[in-house]
Amino acid sequence: MNYFGIDIGCTAIKFGEVEFGQEIKTIDFDMKLIPQTQRTEKYTEALLDLISSAQNYKGIGIGFPSVVWEHGIMNLDIQFDDIWQKVDSILREKQVPHFALNDADAAGFAEIYNPGAAEYRKGVTIVLTLGTGIGSGLFLDGKLLPNTEFGMIEIKGMWAEHYAAASVLRRDNLTLQEWAARLQEVIDQVEIIVSPDHILLGGGISSDFEDYHPYLTTKYAKLAPAFYRNQAGVIGAAMYAAYRSDDYILL
């Protein structure tokens, strides 16, 4: 039996079974698009469907696009804590171990504990997930400092994620170079605030890293694309569930 990871996004839910071996990989990775009306109800319906076969897995990890505490999840325009309480109740009844964390923290967890990523477990590493918004995962010597929100840095009177998320490319009809110039401003602020040793750029657009990397610079940090790209949130959520179940030894 393997672990199951769920990555909740603003417009879709990604999910898949995750196999831990010499390499970590997803099995049957997939995505559900979520209608943008009655979102709390639609997300609840989708998640309850996904956990209906929970007994087939050792455990389930779920990444939420919100602040996640041990005692609950911050409600936003979607009532994430209400959703979590329903999921928690069902999985307790099924006696399936289950754990929640912030979605960008989950993606960061996957990248930091990728077996080939030893260098990222030294010093300060920040993972920025570039999608509908900008999420962030911050690690010090491999230890997660949860619930950071670097997407909320203010740049030119707006949040960084409203200024330079991957979704802005289409929204503002930008060229890749124009968008990279905005992302550069975010990176500059991140370096001022935390002086990281490494900055990893994730999300689906990380597949195009070589195209926009020439337009980006750093003062000190090493800049690299996320290894697991768009699957990092799913892998990291499952990895976190295994770790919390004492079934995955952090390298």
Domain CATH code at residue 51: 3.30.420.40
CB atoms within 10 A of CB 113: 23
Q: How far apart are CA 18 and CA 13, in angstroms?
A: 16
Whether 222 and 236 share a structural domain: no
> What digits encode the pLDDT tens for the residues 69-82?
988 999 988 999 99
- Residue 111 parent element (H or E): helix 103-112
Residue 207 lies in domain: 119-226
Whether 189 and 101 share a structural domain: no
CB atoms within 10 A of CB 70: 5
> What digits encode the pLDDT tens for the residues 169-201?
999 999 999 999 999 999 999 999 999 999 999
Our count of domains for the chain comes to 2
Whether 83 and 124 share a structural domain: no
Phi, psi of 184 (to 5 degrees): -60, -40
pLDDT at 49: 95
Residue 204 has pLDDT above 70, yes or no: yes
Residue 69 bridge partners (DSSP): 72
The verdict on residue 56 lying in a domain is yes
Q: Which of 3-7, 52-56, 190-194 has the lowest mean pLDDT?
A: 52-56
The verdict on residue 113 lying in a domain is no
The verdict on residue 145 lying in a domain is yes
Whether 45 and 136 share a structural domain: no
The verdict on residue 209 lying in a domain is yes
* Of the candidates 101, 115, 31, the residue with the CA atom closest to the CA atom of residue 69: 101
Whether 12 and 93 share a structural domain: yes
Whether 130 and 100 share a structural domain: no
The verdict on residue 110 lying in a domain is no
Residue 93 has pLDDT above 60, yes or no: yes
Strand 98-102 relative to strand 59-64, pairing: parallel
Global pTM?
0.94
∠ CA 198-129-42, nearest 5°, is: 160
Q: For the chain, give the mean pLDDT.
A: 94
Whether 125 and 82 share a structural domain: no
The verdict on residue 251 lying in a domain is no
Lookup: tokens for 208: 């195009």
The verdict on residue 249 lying in a domain is no
Whether 240 and 221 share a structural domain: no
Whether 126 and 220 share a structural domain: yes
Whether 155 and 216 share a structural domain: yes
Whether 68 and 127 share a structural domain: no
The verdict on residue 111 lying in a domain is no
Whether 148 and 88 share a structural domain: no
Residue 249 has pLDDT above 80, yes or no: no
